[in-house]
Structure 1
Amino acid sequence: MYDILFKPVTCLSSRYLRKVRLGGAVPVGTGAVYKCLCGGFGRPSCPAKVRFGFIPEEWFTIFYKKTGVTGPYAFGLGLLTYLLSKEIYVCNHEFYVGIPMGILSIAAVKKLGPPLARYLDNEVDKTENYWKQARIMELKELQELIDGELNEQWRAHGNILLMEVKKRNIHLQIEAAYRKALMECYKQVKRRLDYQVAVANVQHRVNRKNMILWLTREMNQGLPDVDEEQLEKMKGDVSALSLQARL
Structure 2
Amino acid sequence: MLSRLVIISASALKGSGPLGAGLVQASRSLHTSSQSLAPVPPLPEKGGKVRHGIFPEEIFQLLYPKTGVTGPYMLGTGLLVYMLSKEIYVINHETLAAASIGAVIIYGVKKFGPSVAAFADKLNEDKVAKAQEVKDVAMASLTQAIEDEKKEQWRAEGRSILFDAKRNNVAMLLETNHRERLHMVTNEVKRRLDYQVALQDLHRRMAQEHMINWVEKSVIGSITPQQEKESIAKCITDLKALAKNTQAKATA
What is the TM-score when the length of structure 2 is the normalising length?
A: 0.61
**Offset at residue 92 of structure 1 (A):** 2.1
Q: Hey, what does 1:171 align to over in structure 2?
A: 171
Distance 2:164 2:158 in 1: 10
**Offset at residue 191 of structure 1 (A):** 0.8
CA RMSD across the alignment: 3.8
Distance 2:124 2:217 in 1: 137
Q: Hey, what does 2:200 align to over in structure 1?
A: 200
Q: Hey, what does 1:182 align to over in structure 2?
A: 182
What are structure 2's unaligned runs of at least 5 residues?
1-33, 236-252
Distance 1:195 1:153 in 2: 63
SS of residue paired to 1:47: coil
Distance 1:157 1:25 in 2: 42
**Offset at residue 72 of structure 1 (A):** 1.3
Q: 1:157 to 1:180 in 2, by over 3 A?
A: same
**Offset at residue 139 of structure 1 (A):** 2.8
What are structure 1's unaligned runs of at least 5 residues?
1-21, 27-33, 234-247
1:125 is aligned with what amino acid?
E
1:135 is aligned with what amino acid?
K
Distance 1:142 1:191 in 2: 71
**Offset at residue 45 of structure 1 (A):** 3.1
Q: Which has the higher contact order (CA 8 A, sep 6+)?
A: 1
Identity of aligned residues (%): 37
Distance 2:48 2:62 in 1: 15
Distance 1:129 1:25 in 2: 32
Does 48-57 or 94-103 show the bigger shift?
Answer: 94-103
Q: Hey, what does 2:82 align to over in structure 1?
A: 82
Distance 2:223 2:123 in 1: 147
Q: Hey, what does 1:19 align to over in structure 2?
A: none
1:45 aligns with 2:71: no
Q: Hey, what does 1:63 align to over in structure 2?
A: 63
What is the TM-score when the length of structure 1 is the normalising length?
A: 0.62
SS of residue paired to 2:91: coil
Q: Which has the larger radius of gyration?
A: 2
1:21-36 equivalences under 5 Å are: 25=37
**Offset at residue 161 of structure 1 (A):** 6.1
Q: Hey, what does 1:120 align to over in structure 2?
A: 120
1:101 is aligned with what amino acid?
I
**Offset at residue 180 of structure 1 (A):** 2.2
Per-residue deviation, residues 140-198 of structure 1 (Å, max 9, x unmatched):
33344444545555666677666555544433432332222112111111111111211
